[in-house]
């Protein structure tokens, strides 16, 4: 498998997270090579979101190691995590835009606050505008998050996640609670970011279509639309599906392997959403 550089952006080694009375993650191991896409699926509470939070160092695992760009973040102090986090974008489930700030200030937040980014103050406005235009929200700069619709908030949050142009982006249920048309727009944006900037992408989703889109389509910069990937086999092999169940990783494979799976739990996600 072609790797763009040696160290994978993200690697979990036997990671366990225990909350009082429940194991949120149990001995989860996987690796995401640079430029590849991973789709996390599974029932609610299966550990998908926790896995993303562990990857960012927001939740500390009770055992195991998490390597982000080759560095074991489980050994780092909170202060030292900020450097790593500046290279990882994250879209939170409910967008998590700051209510008290305008959309412009929200998108500027990582540029202004992440020390490792070193964005000159005079460039901030320009980069914010670019990021918002990327998600087609150029006209909302002065608005507050509460004035936007759910889909627009999600897009603004994507702008905030991509504004620093991080090489690894984690999307937590980017289409949850959205209508199919808006959901498609969001996935197209994720694809656009992935294909134009070669971002390593992890997406948590309940919708099979989202995974299907990411696995078999690509963003065409010339026409600005989503088109079937030419070398489908190539794209498909660079997109893998990871199934979570009660904190354990129960499936890891390509879409073809997912479709062929005989596991009852895994099949639910193929059938019901297909």
Could you list the residues that contact another protein (CB under 8 A)? 53, 56, 58, 78-79, 82, 85-86, 88, 90, 92-94, 96-99, 109-110, 113-117, 160
Cα–Cα distance for residue pair 127/160, rounded to 1 Å? 11
Closest alpha carbon to 190 in 211, 261, 23:
211
Q: What string of DSSP letters covers 61-106? A: -SEEEEEETTEEGGGS-HHHHHHHHTTEEEEBTTB---TTS-HHHH
CB-CB contact of 202 with 171 (8 Å): yes
In the complex with another protein, which residue's Cβ is closer, 163 or 258?
163
In the complex with another protein, which residue's Cβ is closer, 81 or 188?
81
3-class SS of residue 3: coil
Query: At how many degrees (to 10) do helices 180-197 and 150-162 cross?
Result: 10
CB of 138 to another protein, least distance (A): 21
In the complex with another protein, which residue's Cβ is closer, 56 or 236?
56
In the complex with another protein, which residue's Cβ is closer, 78 or 122?
78
CB of 157 to another protein, least distance (A): 9
DSSP, res 238: T
In the complex with another protein, which residue's Cβ is closer, 56 or 191?
56
CB of 241 to another protein, least distance (A): 25
In the complex with another protein, which residue's Cβ is closer, 115 or 271?
115
Q: Sheet containing 71-72: give its strands across.
A: 22-32, 10-19, 63-68, 71-72
CB of 116 to another protein, least distance (A): 8
SS3 readout for 165-223? CCCEEEECCCCCCCCHHHHHHHHHHHHHHHHHHCCEEEEECCCHHHHHHHHHEEEECCC
CB of 111 to another protein, least distance (A): 9
CB of 259 to another protein, least distance (A): 33
């Amino acid at each position: 498998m072609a790797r763009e550089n040696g160290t994978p952006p993200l690697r979990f080694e036997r990671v366990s997270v225990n909350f009082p009375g429940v194991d949120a993650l149990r001995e989860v191991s996987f690796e995401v090579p640079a430029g590849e896409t991973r789709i996390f699926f599974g029932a609610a509470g299966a550990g998908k979101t926790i896995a993303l939070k562990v990857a960012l160092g927001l939740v500390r695992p009770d055992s195991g190691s998490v390597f982000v760009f080759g560095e074991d973040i489980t050994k780092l102090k909170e202060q030292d995590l900020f450097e790593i986090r500046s290279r990882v974008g994250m879209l939170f489930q409910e967008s998590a835009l700051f209510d008290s700030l305008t959309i412009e200030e929200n998108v500027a937040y990582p540029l202004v606050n992440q020390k490792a980014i070193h964005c000159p103050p005079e460039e901030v406005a320009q980069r914010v505008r670019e990021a918002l235009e990327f998600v087609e929200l150029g006209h909302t700069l002065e608005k507050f998050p509460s004035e936007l619709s759910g889909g627009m908030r999600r897009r603004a949050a994507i702008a905030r996640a991509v504004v620093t142009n991080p090489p690894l982006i984690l999307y937590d249920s980017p289409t949850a609670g959205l209508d199919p048309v808006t959901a498609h727009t969001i996935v197209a944006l994720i694809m656009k970011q992935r294909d134009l900037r070669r971002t390593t992408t992890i997406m948590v989703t309940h919708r099979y279509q989202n995974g299907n889109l990411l696995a078999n389509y690509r963003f065409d910069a010339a026409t600005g639309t989503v088109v079937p990937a030419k070398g489908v086999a190539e794209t498909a092999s660079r997109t893998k599906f990871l199934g979570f169940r009660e904190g354990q990783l129960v499936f890891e494979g390509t879409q073809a392997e997912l479709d062929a799976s005989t596991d009852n739990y895994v099949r639910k996600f193929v059938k019901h959403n297909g």
